[in-house]
Amino acid sequence: MDLHYEVHGNGKPIILVHSGGADLRDWSYLVPLLAEHFCVIAFDGRGAGRSPSPTQPPNYVEDLLFLLDHLDISQAAIVGHSMGGRIATEFAIHYPDRVSELIVIAPALSGFPYSEEMQTYMLGVSAAAPDIEKMIELCIEPPSYEITRNRAERELMVQMLRHHFERTFTWSTFDSVWPEPPAMDRLQDISARTLFIIGDHELTDNQQVGEQFRRVPSIRFATIAGADHMVTLTHPEELSLHITPFVKE
C-alpha cells in the first residue's frame, strides 16, 4: 500500500475520503470526535498530501478497495466529502458487501449535469495556472465558501489548496478512471444505509445532487445550519452528532 494513511481510536472502522483540492487534513477536527467511538482511518488520496503522485490515470475507487484490503477490513462505514463523496458513492455501488453505512457530505456525483456556471467556475480556476495564489483566490470566491472564508479555518483551507495545486504541477497525468455507467444512473442500487449531509449555504448544483440521492432506497438527510461547502472544517461537532448515532445503529 503506497497511500499515506492514519489510524485513530478503536472499534467499528470508519474510512474518511477527503474532498478534491484537499488531503486528510480535511478531517482534522472531525477525527478526534469520531475516534472517541470508532476506529477512524483517514488517508491521502493519490496525488494528495503525503501519497505519491499518479504515474498513470488513477482509479480512486480501486484505491479505496486496496486500502481496506491492506488493513484487512472486511466492511466499514465510508464517509466521503465532496469529491470524496463521489468516490464513496461509486464504492458503495460496486462493492456493496464492503460498506456497512455510507455517509456523503456535500458530495460530487458521477454523471450529474453540472450547470454552466459551475463549469465556467472550474475552467476559470484552471485557466489561472500556474499562478497558484490566483487559483486559490478564484477557488474560494463562490458563495459556497463564504462562511469558511471569514473564519479562522480559512487558513487550513488555503494551505490544503496551495499544497494541492503545487502537487498537481508534478503529476504526469490529469486523467482518472471511473466506473461505468456513472453513479447517477445507479443510485437506486445502493444497498447500504445512507446519510446525506449538506450545509445550508451550498450552491444550487450541490443541493440538486441531494435530490438525485432520494432514489437511494434507505437514506436520511441532514442539513447543517450556517455551514458552507467546507462544513468538515467549520462544523465538526454537528457532523459528529449526525454521524456517530447513525453508524452506531
- Domain locations in the chain as residue ranges: 5-248
Chain center to CA of 89: 10
Q: For the CA atoms of 113, 116, 122, 128, what is the dihedral angle to 10 degrees?
A: 160
Cell of 131: 499562478
Decide: pTM greater than 0.85.
yes
Indicate if the pLDDT at residue 171 is higher than 90: no
Q: pLDDT value at position 175?
A: 86
Rounded Cα distance, 234 and 228, in Å: 8
Max distance between CA atoms of the chain, in angstroms, equals 48
Cross-strand bridge partners of residue 245? none
Verify cis geometry, omega within 30 degrees of 0, for the bond prior to 217. Answer: no
What is the distance between the alpha carbons of residues 88 and 68, in angstroms, rounded to a whole number? 13
Task: Please provide the size of the chain in residues.
Answer: 249
Q: Between 3.40.50.1820, 3.65.10.10, 3.40.50.12780, 3.40.50.300, what CATH number should domain 5-248 receive? A: 3.40.50.1820
pLDDT at 64 over 90: yes
pLDDT digits (tens, 9 = 90+) for 26-55: 999 999 999 999 999 999 999 999 999 988
Cα 181 to chain centroid distance, Å, stands at: 20
34/11 Cα distance (integer angstroms): 10
> Tens of pLDDT along 134-159?
999 999 999 999 999 999 999 999 99
Rounded Cα–Cα distance for residues 236 and 249 (Å): 20
Any idea which residue has 503545487 for its cell?
166
Q: E strands within the chain? A: 5-8, 13-17, 39-43, 76-81, 99-105, 193-199, 219-224
Q: What percent of the chain is predicted at pLDDT more than 70?
A: 100
Which three cell numbers, joined as nine digits, stand for 44? 491521502
Q: Inform me whether the pLDDT recorded for 181 exceeds 90.
A: yes
To which residue does cell 449526525 refer?
242
